[in-house]
C-alpha cells in the first residue's frame, strides 16, 4: 500500500494539474504522513480519474482537513461545498476561482493557451508536461521523477475542468462556514497574485503570500511549507 493512502485520512491532498503526486511527498513528510492521503488523478498511470467522484464519508467521526494545490484547490472547494460539515478546514495553495480570461476576469489566461496545451497532449504529451513544469520552476533535484507514462484522457479532462470552472459565485458560501487558509507566492508564473486574490478575498480566507515563491512552492520550499501546513492542520 502506498505510504500516503489511508482509509481514514485526517488530511486529504488534491495535487495540481500535470504534477506527479510523488513530488508532494517531501512537503508532507513532516506533517503526520501516516494520516495523509494524496489523491491520484491517474494522470501518469491507468487509474480512473476521480474528477467526478465524491470522497467524503459523512459518517466520519472527525472531518478531514482538505488541502488543494492549483487545480486541486478548485476541486477541493467544489467538494467542500457539497457538504461543508464534512470538512474541518480548507488549505488552498496557489488557488484560483477561474482560470480563463474574459471581460469579468481579465487577470486569467487566454483560452487559446489552454486550447494549445490540450491539442499538444494528443501528439506530444511529454513536451507539454515538460514545458509546463519548466514554467512552474520545477526544482532541479526532481528531474529523475519526470513521468514516463501519460494518461492523455485524464490529463485532457483535467485541463477541460480548469478551462470551464468558475466558482466565484459560490465562494461566499465558505465565509464563516469553515476556516479557509491560502498559501501563495508572488512570483507564481501560472497563477498570478490577482487570480489568487479573486478567491481569497471572496471567501475571507487567511492568506499568507511568500515573496519570490513560485507555483511549485511545495517542492521549492518543502521545509517551510511543511511547517506552515502543520500549523494550519492543527489549529
- Look at strands 36-38 and 65-69 and give their pairing: unpaired
Name the more confident of 116 and 12: 116
Domain count, the chain: 1
In terms of Cα–Cα distance, which of 91, 117, 122, 113 is closest to 184? Answer: 91
The answer to whether residue 2 is domain-embedded is no
The answer to whether residue 4 is domain-embedded is no
The range of the structural domain enclosing residue 153 comes to: 11-234
Q: Please, which pLDDT band fits residue 196 given cuts at 50, 70 and 90? A: very high
The answer to whether residue 161 is domain-embedded is yes
The answer to whether residue 54 is domain-embedded is yes
Name the more confident of 131 and 29: 131
The answer to whether residue 75 is domain-embedded is yes
Q: CATH number for the domain including 221?
A: 3.40.50.1820
Which pLDDT score is estimated for 155? 95
Residues linked to residue 207 through DSSP beta bridges, in sequence order: 182
The answer to whether residue 6 is domain-embedded is no
The answer to whether residue 3 is domain-embedded is no
At residue 88, φ and ψ (nearest 5 deg) are -80, -45
H helices present in the chain, as ranges: 25-28, 71-82, 111-123, 125-135, 152-164, 193-200, 217-220, 222-234
What contacts 134, CB < 8 A, 6 or more positions away?
none
- d(C-alpha 28, C-alpha 89), whole Å: 17
The answer to whether residue 78 is domain-embedded is yes
Amino acid at each position: 500500500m502506498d505510504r500516503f493512502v489511508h482509509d481514514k485520512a485526517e488530511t486529504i491532498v488534491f495535487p495540481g494539474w500535470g504534477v506527479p503526486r510523488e513530488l508532494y511527498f517531501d512537503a508532507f513528510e513532516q506533517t503526520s504522513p501516516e494520516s495523509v492521503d494524496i489523491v491520484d488523478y491517474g494522470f501518469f498511470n491507468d487509474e480512473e480519474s476521480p474528477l467526478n467522484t465524491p470522497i467524503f464519508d459523512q459518517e466520519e467521526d472527525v472531518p478531514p482537513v482538505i488541502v488543494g494545490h492549483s487545480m486541486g484547490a478548485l476541486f477541493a472547494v467544489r467538494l467542500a461545498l457539497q457538504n461543508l460539515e464534512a470538512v474541518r478546514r480548507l488549505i488552498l495553495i496557489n488557488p484560483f476561482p477561474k482560470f480563463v480570461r474574459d471581460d469579468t476576469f481579465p487577470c486569467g489566461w487566454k483560452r487559446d493557451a489552454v486550447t494549445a496545451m490540450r491539442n499538444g497532449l494528443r501528439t506530444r504529451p511529454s513536451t507539454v508536461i515538460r514545458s509546463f513544469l519548466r514554467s512552474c520552476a520545477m526544482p532541479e533535484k526532481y528531474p529523475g521523477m519526470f513521468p514516463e507514462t501519460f494518461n492523455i484522457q485524464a490529463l485532457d479532462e483535467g485541463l477541460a475542468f480548469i478551462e470551464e470552472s468558475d466558482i466565484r459565485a459560490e465562494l461566499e458560501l465558505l465565509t464563516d462556514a469553515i476556516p479557509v487558509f491560502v498559501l501563495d507566492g508572488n512570483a507564481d508564473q501560472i497563477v498570478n497574485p490577482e487570480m489568487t486574490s479573486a478567491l481569497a478575498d471572496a471567501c475571507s480566507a487567511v492568506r499568507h503570500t511568500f515573496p519570490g515563491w513560485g507555483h511549485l512552492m511545495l517542492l521549492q520550499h518543502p521545509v517551510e511549507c511543511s511547517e506552515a501546513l502543520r500549523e494550519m492542520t492543527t489549529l
